[in-house]
Chains A and B, each alone.
Chain A
Amino acid sequence: MLEHDVLIVGAGLAGMRAAIAARDAGANAAIISKVHPVRSHSNAAQGGINAALTDRGDNWEDHAYDTIKGSDFLGDQDAVEVMCRAAGQSLIDMEHMGVTFNRDDEGKLGTRAFGGQRVARTFFVGDFTGQALLHVMFEQLVKSGVQSYEEWFVTSLIMEDGKISGVTALEIRTGQLHAIRAKTVILCTGGCGRLFEPSTNALIVTGDGMALAYNVGARLMDMEMVQYHPTTISGSGVLLSEAARGEGAYLRDKNGNRFMEKYAPNMMELASRDVVSRAEQTEINAGNGIDGCVHLDCTHLGEKFIMEKLPQIRELGIDLTGKDMIREPVPIRPGMHYIMGGIKTDVDGQTNIPGIYAAGECANVSVHGGNRLGANSLLDTIVFGERSGSHAADASRGVSFSNFNEDEVVSREKKRLQEILDRPDNGDRWSRIRREMGDSMNRNVAVFRTKEGIEETIEELQGLKQRYGSVPVHNKGKVFNTDLIFALELGFMIDCAEAIAISALERKESRGAQFRLDYPNRDDDNWLKHIVVTQGELGPELSELPVTITKWTPEERKY
């Protein structure tokens, strides 16, 4: 019988940090992941991690204010305070673990400028900070000896009397289905980018945890807040880091003009991402783009500089666009990148479901509110991963394992999966439905939204949901049956897509990443609040939660 005090689902930065923290707090912790930990999507983060170090004359309150302003005042200020206060120590902890951060001339940690920050407080490793952090976290996981279920896919959460009791999981290598008993479960499953097409996200980012939690009654909050990153590669959607702009790159239109002057005269290319994405899209829509893109110009930075600070994105530019940024501008355009929304938690990662926690991108505390600043996500995962792990470990002390019948649970789940496998072959493939969903979301729930557009997508999603019920699985085998897994992931994605679309329709204002052409202004009187989606009898139900304000009065956001 597999059982653990704390079971962490997802082995990205948040998951591994939580697992180590839970173990350090004395719990029997285990981590389960559908891919090997180092394959997690945290490794795609490029730019850096924010922290205010007091020995440099920086202070956490400035960082907090920048974050809250970046969030367009939708961020819960108590949560932001927690994150920004903890940032300095978290950063040093990572360095002590072995991260090879960039250094200044005195050998101390070096910084770069980043979007929405008035002071350079982004610490980095070249332009592959996420990969650097993820690998070090994996090293620490190995050191800690935490048990790891690698390439196990969680198919459902097991609930007893309204609280979490464990998970059912498919061992991908063998096709065997298991039940794992757990006193607490921390969901660290990341975002849901694959329900948009294109997206910077990896193929594994399918909203598993969000949907799993939603389906047992957890609250999803601010789902309409979807970040479109300003510099993604056309076609594949792959990311070119904000670090380029942080190190001085310019954005130019077809005539070579730095158009950001019109939209953010002070911060220019380093305004918050939603502002820059909207600026780019406006210029492209007005005919000032080049094949649906604008230009990222690094040619003035010099070869040596680019090779030291931006080597990875230079390679990506060459591999995927054929352009070498040392010599020529690279075409980019806004692309879906991150979701600020997610499973509502408190500052310790607790959700409204007893025993279920969430941390990382799948969670929404909320520290990012309506728009996340670059380099705050890596920070978010580490701070709240640690807090969730510790808290869950403590919470699990007073709890005993639930008594569910393992064989019954497993055979029920097996039956459900077998029914999916036994479907007739004539339905639409999962890939076709995903692409239709992705196109629809990218068309109507992207940078600029309208009531008609969102409603069209909601209707299309209803149709896709119907067709989903007959998606066939062509692989009937047990070993490494990815066709089955993709069908299950599609279900998770549709649930998330629905939550996103109805939240976007509900919020009749523009704030942060949500821009409604029919409601182009921010409306604090009516809409300074979080929109919440929960699963009801007849479908998703909307409710709201207040925004916690501590020190900073909401004001107009100008860059």
Chain B
Amino acid sequence: MSDGTAELRQFAIAVGRIADGAYEDVDGVITKGAVNVKTEMIADVKASRHFKGMAGSITYEHHNTPGVIRREIGPDKGRRGGALGNIYYFGTSRGGGSGDIEKPLNTEEPRLMGAMQALVDRWAGQL
């Protein structure tokens, strides 16, 4: 009759295996989400009569640090039209700011949460 030690060891090995790949798994989900957000931001700005010229300036960058997965998405001021980004989204001293910076995030949020849930379910299936 087992005292449970062997099962516990197997469980620990399985958890360790999942933990080894977890960072890359989550990084992949976040990257996919960032691409989707960027794509929608570009589509939105292309629909603007006055700001469509800045569409090519919208990029995303990896800002990962140990234990933290982060993407920065938006107009790059170093690219053509990028300096118009703050005017498009936030206006000037006289108003404006017709771009909705939260809309692409709101669109992506349920998709991202679904992908994260699927990832957790996959991990659970490996235990």
Partners in one complex: no
